[in-house]
Structure 1
Amino acid sequence: MTKQTMNYNLAHFITSAPDIRQMPDDIGIEVAFAGRSNAGKSSALNTLTRQKTLARTSKTPGRTQLINVFELAENKRIIDLPGYGYAKVPEDMKKNWQKALGEYLQKRESLKGLVVLMDIRHPFKDSDQDLIYWAVDSNLPVLCLLTKADKLKQGVRKTTLNRMREEAKTFEGDVEVEAFSSTKGIGLEKLMIKLNQWYCPAIEEADPELEDAE
């Protein structure tokens, strides 16, 4: 089995788009990051890419309703989806965003994985669960990152992680859960391993024992 890795330091901004029709051509591989407006998504992206300002934090959470596209390599992109779940966002803006999100998850052929970020102290809110069910219905693998994990003591963090892993089974899909902290680097390596699996699908070599058995 051949293993490859991506250099996330090379990520650079390409464009912002209000919907999939204004995004780059639907070829290659994309992984999308999504989360509530206060989940620490921008910090996670900046930590992953080792760039302090790659993903900028909006001064007004939930107001920036654009899909930000970053390129890692030719035809390999990180998609930064707008934050959701912010109470002060106008209702019409929420509806427009839900429509754009639905189109993206269901129609974007190059989308190969979804990272859903949630504050470890407030995981699996209704909006998070709706997004995950949406992804599962689209046969999309999901990695749930429980952010700000450094805010909990190690024992509580481990207990919460195990409980959320059990809860994730109810989605009945390819849904994994990991603890994450942008400030302490908790879970960063596991995030990179999962992303590498999505961006660089392993080339599985034929098993000679199976061939002999045929």
Structure 2
Amino acid sequence: MKILSAEFVISAPGSKQCPIDGRPQIAFAGRSNVGKSSLINAVLNRKHLVKTSATPGKTQLINFFVINGQFYFVDLPGYGFARVPRNVVDTWAPMLEEYLRDTPQLRAVVVLLDMRREPDERDSRMIAWLKHYNVPALYVFTKADKLNRQEFLRAEQTVSAGLGITERIIPTSATSGLGLDELRSRIFALLSGR
């Protein structure tokens, strides 16, 4: 499938304000500053559709982008450290869980993991929610171009073991384009029911 159009639709504070037009959704989740916005832009071949920031925690709502008029990419707030008030951070976990629980159009969540960081309880919680709510997941390493081959293999083993991931983790780089074709293929397969 070719990306012909991509446009921002709405920022929602919870699942009750999300679009309910029946279009399938692919959500992107990960820690604050993992590179979600950059990866979504790269997958869509757009430079500035999703706003990026060096400041962790910039995405504070559930952001919807309609792709080709047929489906949504959903940019979820990053979990973990963020330079935002504690009361805002405290709303994110319930918002994410509500979205995962109450969105029947959700086809999969692309879980982004920074290869340079060890997984923690927030990553484990996200994966547990996905399993609990039977939401398919695609696992993606971001910033894979920052590590050499040995560092990559060590990080892959640490993350897979630490989070109990048996599926392939797709190494990606929004900068170099590494892994983007594979990620697009896997997303489009999920959207078409393959």
Same fold per TM (> 0.5)? yes
- CA positional deviation for 1:88: 3.5
Give the paired residue count: 194
Q: C-alpha offsets along residues 190-209 of structure 1, whole Å, 9 cap, x if unaligned?
A: 2112101111113xxxxxxx
Q: C-alpha offsets along residues 111-146 of structure 1, whole Å, 9 cap, x if unaligned?
A: 010011121011422211111111111111111211
1:1-214 paired onto structure 2 within 5 Å:
6-25=1-20, 27-58=22-53, 60-168=55-163, 170=164, 175-202=167-194
Residues 1:185 and 1:158: Cα distance change in structure 2 (over 3 Å): farther
Residues 1:17 and 1:143: Cα distance change in structure 2 (over 3 Å): same
Gapped runs of 5+ residues in structure 1?
Answer: 1-5, 203-214
SS of residue matched to 2:64: strand
The CA distance in 2 between the partners of 1:123 and 1:116, in whole Å, is 14
For normalisation by structure 1, the TM-score amounts to: 0.82
Residue type matched to 1:118 in 2?
A: L
Residues 1:47 and 1:64: Cα distance change in structure 2 (over 3 Å): closer
Q: C-alpha offsets along residues 16-64 of structure 1, whole Å, 9 cap, x if unaligned?
A: 1111111111512101001112111111011111111011124642144
The CA distance in 2 between the partners of 1:31 and 1:123, in whole Å, is 25
Two-structure CA RMSD over aligned residues (Å): 2.0
Percentage of matched positions with identical amino acids: 37
Question: Quick check: 2:118–2:158 contact (8 Å CA) kept in 1?
Answer: no
**Runs of 4+ displaced beyond 3 Å:** 162-168
The CA distance in 2 between the partners of 1:26 and 1:95, in whole Å, is 29
Gapped runs of 5+ residues in structure 2?
Answer: none
Residue type matched to 2:56 in 1?
A: P
Question: Quick check: 1:32–1:79 contact (8 Å CA) kept in 2?
Answer: yes
Q: C-alpha offsets along residues 141-161 of structure 1, whole Å, 9 cap, x if unaligned?
A: 111211111111123213432
